[in-house]
Amino acid sequence: MKLATLNNGRPDGQLVVVSADLARCVAAGRIAPTLQAALDDWNAHAPALAALSVQLDAGAIAGQPFDAGNALAPLPRAYQWIDGAGYLSHLERVRTLNGSKDAELQSARPLLYQGGSDSLVAPTAPIVVPEGDLAIDFEAEVAVIVGPVPMGATRDQAASAIRLITVCNDVSLRRLVADDLQNGFGFFHAKPSSSFAPIVITPDSLGEAWRDSRLHLSVRIEVNGTLFGQPNAGTDMHFDFADLIVEAARTRKLTAGTIIGGGTVSNRHDESLPIKRDGIGFACIAEARTVEKLKYGRARTPFLQTGDTVRIGAVTADGRTVFGDINQTVQRA
């Protein structure tokens, strides 16, 4: 089952069921007006949404063309956005830039931070950043949306709480990371609102691409139309999503609709940019710059500037977008 949220002028938008080929959609308002409403009573609503999905795919319902340009983030505002650090090579590469802390804690238990969830950005909305030289970066990630998770959840409870999967862009202001880390209070200023792909998909509808609580697909990133990276999200993910959820629920329960990011997708390699057609590359600029510094003594890839574009999407082996693409332009407030 594939779901999306269309802009209807309301803060939470309008839930729609999207066809398997992403071409058409049908309003789900008779079942649940919004994605949060569906998640609030998932056991009751999911079967009805799945039945609607079957009818749409069979052509029994014509529906309407699915316009990703009119999609909001699947949850335009959420009650929780937690970002984990599943890929250690991302941490290792950015640590040299940001002055982060010792590595020991990071490989034993995943790091998590609490992000702002009050305004999650639509896939084609601009990345709006404040004035100033803030070293604007993207971070391409896989994210899951969970149902209720009890405090002290087991791995099995965590894995089975995963309702929906998508990709996101955890926009980062690298110039502010060091100050935030120094304060110790979290990435309050360095991480403005994150952006999301238009479509969320249930684990069963991803087939072989979802297994071991990991998404086994390449996440393809283009900056200004040039391939920047296509690391596989199922490769080198040291902490899987069950690990991240267990860690998130150590001292508190998680309520339905909590979004958990897997951290910047990152595969181990020592290529630098530009990458070849079959290269791996990077899912954020900071990592590319670290590899360049090690190889050439200086970073060559600039951070994002006003007017730059970033396209992010998970793709099948034959290059088709799975969740629809995030496609954004950087803009000053």
Q: Which residues bind a copy of itself (CB under 8 A)?
A: 11, 40, 77-80, 82, 100-101, 105-106, 111-119, 128-130, 134, 151-152, 173, 176, 179-190, 192-193, 248, 250-255, 257-258, 333
Quickly tell me which residue has 């629920």 as its tokens. 249
Q: Which residues contact 325 (CB under 8 A, 6 or more apart)?
A: 68, 123, 197, 311, 312, 313
> C-beta of 150: minimal distance to a copy of itself in Å?
8
> C-beta of 316: minimal distance to a copy of itself in Å?
33
CB 170 within 8 Å of CB 194 = yes
Tokens describing residue 191: 């991480």
Nearer Cβ to a copy of itself (183/305): 183
Dihedral sign, Cα of residue 154, residue 159, residue 160, residue 164: positive
> C-beta of 135: minimal distance to a copy of itself in Å?
12
Nearer Cβ to a copy of itself (187/241): 187
d(CA 198, CA 221): 16
The distance between the two most distant Cα atoms of the chain, rounded to a whole number of Å, is 61
Amino acid at 280: I
> C-beta of 264: minimal distance to a copy of itself in Å?
14
Nearer Cβ to a copy of itself (68/176): 176
> C-beta of 320: minimal distance to a copy of itself in Å?
33
> C-beta of 93: minimal distance to a copy of itself in Å?
17
Nearer Cβ to a copy of itself (263/324): 263
Nearer Cβ to a copy of itself (54/128): 128
Tokens describing residue 88: 């250690």
Helices 285-296 and 88-98, interaxial angle, to 10°? Answer: 70
Nearer Cβ to a copy of itself (50/128): 128
Q: DSSP string of 291-311?
A: HHHHHHSS--S--B-TT-EEE
